[in-house]
Structure 1
């Protein structure tokens, strides 16, 4: 039984998550010799305050990006 786990920073719509699940399921079905009902896809969403690159959380990066855009377009 294939199990695919996807971890994303929160912020996608339910429709985007559903589309992701569908595409991952299809990719596994097309490449692995298994039955569709045996494929498992798990999507985990992590709060942006709990995901960091280097020593900066995604939330902090969002704030910095927003501030930068505000300076560019007053």
Structure 2
């Protein structure tokens, strides 16, 4: 059972999250086969004060 995990900044609407989950599931099935009910997707919202790129927190940018 595949699991797709997405880490992203907060702020997307429930409709956007729902569409993202559908698109990720569809892409996995098209590419790798299987059944949609076998694909798990987790969305992890990470605040800018907990995410850094290049050694700098995004909250400090």
Q: Which has the higher contact order (CA 8 A, sep 6+)?
A: 2
Please report the RMSD computed on the Cα atoms of aligned residues, expressed in angstroms. Answer: 1.3
After TM superposition, the score normalised by the length of structure 1 is 0.71
How far did residue 56 of structure 1 move?
2.2
Query: Residue 54 of structure 2 corresponds to which residue in structure 1?
Result: 54
Greater helix share, structure number: 1
- Deviation above 6 Å: which 4+ runs of structure 1? none
Q: Per-residue CA shift, 1:11-70, capped at 9, x if unaligned?
A: 222222111111101101111221111111111110111001123221222xxxxxxxxx
Q: Which has more radius of gyration?
A: 1
Structure 1 residues not aligned, in runs of 5+: 62-74
